Structure 1
Amino acid sequence: MSGASGTSQSAAAAVTGPSSSTQGDPSLHYHLMGVGGIGMSAFARLLQARGYQVSGCDETASDLTRQLEREGISVALGHDAAHMADVDVLVASEAVPKSHPELVAAREAGVQVRPRMGLLDELLRAGPSVGVIGTHGKTTTTSMIAVALQGAGLDPSAFVGGIVPEFASNARIGSGPFVAEVDESDRAFAELGCETAVFTNAEDDHVGGNQATYWETVEEQHAGFARFVSQSDRVLFCADWPGLETLCEGAAERLTYGQAEGADYRAVNLHPDAEGTSFTVHWRGEELGQARVGLPGVHNVLNALAALAVAHLYGGNFTQAAGALASFGGPGRRWQRIGELNGALIIDDYAHNATKVAAAVQAARQTGRRVRVVFQPHRYLRTQQSWPRLADALMDADEVLLLDIAAASEAPIEGIHATLISTRMTEQGHTGVHYLPDRADVLQLLRDTAAPGDIIVTMGAGDVWKLSRELAGVAL
């Protein structure tokens, strides 16, 4: 890697921009399986921007696949060995079985098969780069870093696991640095490194079960985080999260951010309100300036602080970076304002494990409204592992409407049901939790009772987001 210089000279080095020195061979044809996914679609856009010929396939059409086609990327529906005609490189997730007909056809035809993490590694190592790792907050933090760098006068490229409104995309093409969300659900991430690793936190998500890319133990996963950090030029980690310092012991250079005493980048004088939080940023005791995040919750203060720290490290203008973040409304499905119903504010959020759910509930409480949550548990295994913690995380909501578990292709596990959560909440004294498996009942109840003092938050990693749009009268 290029070495963590920490100055604006990083912006001069090309990463993925169309005019970069890493411009690809236009005769080289990349084909991406599952191109309608949030990550693969971003890869497709970045590869196309580098000048390669790009195509893809997916099971069904979606807004993302239709947008890719409008951008000149050919998308085939379904999977077929015939897709390998004239393809030079096939990009696929490690979760795709090696016996899949497209993979078999690729190997027989001499097509290079590249895992998605191998492609991300190439992009991260092509020039100055920022890789965001951690169990929670990666998408929001990655988005904030890209927005802050752009606001600070730099020209970042970005790879994000969500749609960033400022870019109207999950990818941005610039001259650098390259900012990427690095997902630990794919074990191959531990083979990667970057110039600046931003490490938000570490818990036990994506652990256990028979998922092809999941980790067997939390210790193994955390060792993966440590390996990524040790292979990076420097790490910026959250000083408020217990255990991160130990995981970062192998880093060549260590910097911290947080509210904790002694953090290199520190948020102080927090002033929360119904719309967000204002705060002051210090760099090793010296005030850099005032900042604001327009998303509620202390976790979003930390996400914004990390973004401002990166902008400062890369020589960006702090005041301009802070101004860009103050108007940032969040990426898609991360505290996304959908609309209103009878004066009630409707928010959609991707929160699906206990820490994320608790943070989202705390953010909702900050608005001062009556908190009404529609929660969809995600995966049988995750529910089996964490239903008591999910129940506890929801206790601070005034009302919880509980849907059935979103299977996400998992087979049911005997005895694991959404009512485990509602029963525990009732036993702990919550009087406003209701198991409502029929979505029509959820819609009717909220349409009949929504009031101006309410905030309704649809929460989960499944398709619960559709309910927020139906409640607000927004097209799906």
Structure 2
Amino acid sequence: MGVGGIGMSAFARLLSAQGHHVSGCDESATELTARLAQEGVAVAVGHAATHVTQAPFGPIDVLVASEAVPKSHPELEAARAAGVEIRPRMALLDALLRAGPSVGVIGTHGKTTTTSMIAVALTGAGLDPSAFVGGIVPEFGSNARLGHGPFVAEVDESDRGFAALGAGTAVFTNAEDDHVGGNQATYWETVEEQHAAFAQFVAQSGRVLACADWPGLDALCTGARELLTYGQAGNADYRAVNLRPDADGTSFTVVRRGETLTEARVALPGIHNVLNALAALAAVDLHGGDLTRASAALADFQGPGRRWQRIGELNGALIVDDYAHNATKVQAAVQAARQTGRRVRVVFQPHRYLRTQQSWPRLADALMDADEVLLLDIAAASEPPIEGIHATLISERMTGNGHGGVRYLPDRLEVLRVLRESAGPGDIIVTMGAGDVWKLSRELVGAAL
């Protein structure tokens, strides 16, 4: 169920590649459902109880659903009535993680990019991984890959079921307060509850590779059977040193407990991407892979879809799209844009009323280093509006703090007009947010949506 989602479609691809007969359904047709159909996965638009019991989809043996699906949903009720196993998506991921050597990537930020980098690096090193990623990896042309080596998976903390899982190697990027609060099935009531779940995953994993640069992460790793660290910190087991940033990325040296392992490069700007790449190379080293070949693969890596994705140019301006939607991600994306040496122009779409209510001051502060910010309305993501919560909270705080280049522009045609008339060779224009702001980047370069 929900096969058009980025995670469920990856499951469908993996299971189909393993030889299982896979079908799925979703509320509406998308590019992902169209591609699944081309790949031989039967997809229905809309939900119906008959999908469980009648041809061409049923009768089925297992129904996979996320925790976001109401237990009273007709397809779930039909499955229970027919004695069909209902398997939560995290239970399916658990089975894949425990089937052999595995790497599970956890944390609040950077999971998709880090998981992609690990899979690409392991592939470059000749280790033939399987992969489950929350984004399209250009090197695979997919969000999934089937191989005979380690299984690499992005483990999404928005699904509470992740706390019951563990991996051979847990890569722990960071821990903040995203997906907390509200009444949604995929949200945690408190940050303490969510962080306890991170600690539980860590304790249930064979070993942990944690970011030494993230404050407080060590406190969540006290239950680890074996703890290794990565980062720029002097006490990290794997360190990135001698960083040499340029407009297109960063070159650096990888050191393991004082021993130089390899020279590396990441073709994505920002310190956060150096750390993501370092985690990937450390994972390759822990699995006995060829680091020289892994480094070469990472040097060519352009990022998964919507993670610092270069879309094209407009009047010489570089157009980039990024999924950044909370303050830490936004700040990292703005810092990456500054590294290019261009004038930084951001089109930002706040995501969810609750998230905006919780973090609008931090979002405003994270955008202050951009030269220009064009602010869209909040992307509701099916949430009802919250009285008094509006995108202008962000713009008004930025203006009050002295930013002279922020404008609230809810009319998308006006955003396109402004940028088309003013874009120049010295600019970088970043469409930023978890909603549908990505469409503007494609429209700016004349690409098909």
Shorter-chain TM-score: what band? over 0.9
CA displacement, residues 214-245 of structure 1 (integer Å, 9 cap, x when unaligned): 11000110000000000000000000001111
Amino acid paired to 1:70: Q
Match of 2:203 in 1: 230
Within the candidate set 444, 456, 475, 2:429 is matched to 456
Superposed CA offset, 1:288-342 (max 9, x none) = 0100000000000000000000001100001100000001000000000000000
State the 1:60 CA deviation: 1.1
Which residue of 14, 21, 27 corresponds with 1:53?
21
**Which amino acid in the other structure matches residue 355 of structure 2?**
R
The equivalent of 2:39 in structure 1 is 71
- Write the deviation string for residues 81-114 of structure 1: whole angstroms up to 9, x where unpaired: 1101101110001010001111111111111111
List, as ranges, runs of 4+ consecutive aligned residues in structure 1 with deviation greater than 2 Å. Answer: none
Looking at structure 1, the residues matched to 149 and 98 of structure 2 have their Cα atoms a distance apart, in angstroms, of 12
> CA separation in 1, counterparts of 2:79 and 2:145?
30
What residue is the counterpart of 1:40 in the other structure?
Answer: 8
| CA deviation profile, 1:113-138 (whole Å, cap 9, x unmatched) | 11100100000000000000000000
Query: Whole-Å Cα distance in 1 between the matches of residues 139 and 11 of structure 2?
Result: 19
Give per-residue Cα distances to partners, 1:164-203, cap 9 Å, x unaligned. Answer: 0000000000002000000000111000001000000000
Over the aligned positions, Cα root-mean-square deviation in angstroms equals 0.5
1:285 CA drift (Å): 0.4
Distance of 1:243 and 1:428 partners within structure 2: 30
Report the equivalent of 1:334.
307
**Aligned with 2:88 (options 115, 131, 136):** 115
Distance in 1 (CA, whole Å) between partners of 2:36 and 2:295 is 32
1:213-362, aligned counterparts within 5 Å?
A: 213-362=186-335
Distance 2:193 2:149 in 1: 33
1:203 is aligned, of 173, 176, 189, to 176
The secondary structure found in structure 2 opposite 1:277 is: strand
For 1:117 and 1:138, how far apart are their aligned partners in 2? 16
Take 1:248 and 1:107, find their aligned partners in 2: how far apart are those partners? Answer: 39
Once residues 347 and 68 of structure 2 are traced to their aligned partners in structure 1, the CA distance between those partners, rounded to angstroms, is 30
Secondary structure of the 2:64 match is strand
1:425 Cα offset (Å) = 0.1
Alignment-mate amino acid for residue 415 of structure 1: G
Deviation (angstroms), 1:49: 1.5
How many residues align? The count is 444
- Alignment partner, residue 378 of structure 2: 405
Residue 51 of structure 1 deviates from its aligned partner by: 1.3
Q: What code does the residue aligned with 2:25 have?
A: C
Candidates 113, 131, 136, aligned match of 1:163 = 136
* Matched residue SS, 2:22: strand
Q: Which amino acid aligns with 1:228?
A: F
Distance 2:368 2:41 in 1: 46
Pick the aligned partner of 2:72 from 99, 104, 122.
99
Q: Which of the residues 105, 120, 126 maps onto 2:99? A: 126
Q: List gaps (5 residues or longer) in structure 1.
A: 1-32
Distance in 2, Cα, partners of 1:228 & 1:443:
45
2:404 is matched with which residue: 411, 422, 431?
431
SS in 1 for 2:149: coil
SS of residue matched to 1:53 = coil
Query: Structure 1-normalised TM-score?
Result: 0.93
Q: Distance in 2 between matches of 1:190 and 1:426?
A: 42
Q: Percent identity over the alignment?
A: 81
Counterparts of 1:51 and 1:129 in 2: how far apart (Å)?
20
Partner of 1:394: 367
Q: CA deviation at 1:442?
A: 0.2
Q: Using the alignment, how far apart are the partners of 1:324 and 1:163 within structure 2?
A: 17
For residues 116 and 350 of structure 1, the distance between their equivalents in structure 2, rounded to whole angstroms, comes to: 23
Residue by residue, what CA displacement relative to the aligned partner does 1:409-462 show, whole Å, maximum 9, x if unpaired?
A: 000000000000000000000000000001000000000000000000000000
Q: CA deviation at 1:142?
A: 0.1
Alignment equivalent of 2:346, drawn from 361, 366, 373: 373
Residue of 363, 366, 371 corresponding to 2:336:
363
Q: In the alignment, which residue of structure 2 is the partner of 1:80? A: 48
Shift of 1:61: 1.0
The TM-score, its normalising length taken from structure 2, stands at 0.99
